[in-house]
């Protein structure tokens, strides 16, 4: 059985959410999120940079939430939640999945570091503003994509929405999602109504 090494509100939410949507059985291992544990040999054997999450299945382990999600869908998904490979819809599924983690997550991380995890007296406004502006540019892209559709690909809920849904959940947590992006806010509200999302973020 899949083992998902999890801590609340981290990117393991994506994998749990997909497993819940598809009724794939999994075992949750809640890890100690302290820096001390994440520096330990035990955790570094699963996640060499000390980050969360990691996953084990069938005698191997892996890190990177997007890769974990893709593996779970390939192995246990039976074609559900993903478009047929090699099609335009699949290209867009890959595009939004990579966008969620590669392009959006970096400025969100920068914003958290420079604005939230730095004491006010030490903050550098230019760094905070730059990170915020890059997050807003990402939100603009999502807002524009949601113009005539409820979901990112083929107007059907799928894995791209799980990838982006988690990213938007964090954007909302750090209070950068608001009235300027009404379609994106409504999209996240729609996603968060699903039982899979509720279990994964509980």
Ligand X SMILES: N[C@@H](CCC(=O)N[C@@H](CS)C(=O)NCC(=O)O)C(=O)O
Residues forming the site for ligand X (CB under 6 A): 10-11, 50-53, 64-66, 101
Is the CB of 69 or the CB of 152 nearer to ligand X? 69
Closer CB to ligand X, 51 or 190, in the complex: 51
For tokens 């590669």, the residue is: 102
Q: Toward ligand X, which CB reaches closer, 42 or 180?
A: 42
Q: Which two tokens stand for residue 58?
A: 């069938």
User: Shortest Cβ distance from residue 61 to ligand X (Å)?
Assistant: 13
Closest CA to 124 of 136, 116, 115: 115
Whole-number minimum distance, CB 14 to ligand X, in Å? 8
Provide the minimum distance between the beta carbon of 182 and ligand X in the complex, in angstroms, as a whole number: 27
| CA 73 vs CA 16, 33, 152, 198: distances in Å | 12, 27, 18, 20
Alpha helix positions (H), the chain = 12-22, 35-38, 41-46, 65-76, 88-98, 105-111, 125-145, 159-173, 182-191, 195-200
Closest to ligand X by CB, 10 vs 154, is 10
In this structure, what token pair is assigned to residue 102? 């590669």
Q: Which residues pair with 60 in a beta bridge?
A: 57
Q: Which two tokens stand for residue 14?
A: 């994506």
**Closest distance of CB 10 from ligand X, Å:** 4
Q: Is 194 helix (H, G, I), strand (E, B) or coil?
A: coil
Cβ 179 to ligand X shortest distance, Å: 27
**Residue placing its CB nearer to ligand X in the complex, 28 or 88:** 28
């Amino acid at each position: 059985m899949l083992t998902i090494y999890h801590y609340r509100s981290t990117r393991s939410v994506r994998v749990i959410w997909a497993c819940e949507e598809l009724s794939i059985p999994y075992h949750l291992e809640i890890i100690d999120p302290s820096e001390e544990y994440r520096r330990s040999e035990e955790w570094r054997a699963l996640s060499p940079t000390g980050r969360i999450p990691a996953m084990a299945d069938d005698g191997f382990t892996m890190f990177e939430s997007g890769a974990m999600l893709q593996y779970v869908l390939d192995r246990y998904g039976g074609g559900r939640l993903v478009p047929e490979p090699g099609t335009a819809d699949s290209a867009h599924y890959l595009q939004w999945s990579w966008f969620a983690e590669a392009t959006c997550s970096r400025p969100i991380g920068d914003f958290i570091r420079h604005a939230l995890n730095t004491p006010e007296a030490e903050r550098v406004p230019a760094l905070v503003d730059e990170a915020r502006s890059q997050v807003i540019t990402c939100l603009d892209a999502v807002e524009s994509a949601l113009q005539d559709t409820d979901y990112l690909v083929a107007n059907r809920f799928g894995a791209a929405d799980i990838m982006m849904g988690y990213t938007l959940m964090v954007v909302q947590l750090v209070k950068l999602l608001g009235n300027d992006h009404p379609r994106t806010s409504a999209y996240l509200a729609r996603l968060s109504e699903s039982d899979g999302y509720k279990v994964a973020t509980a």
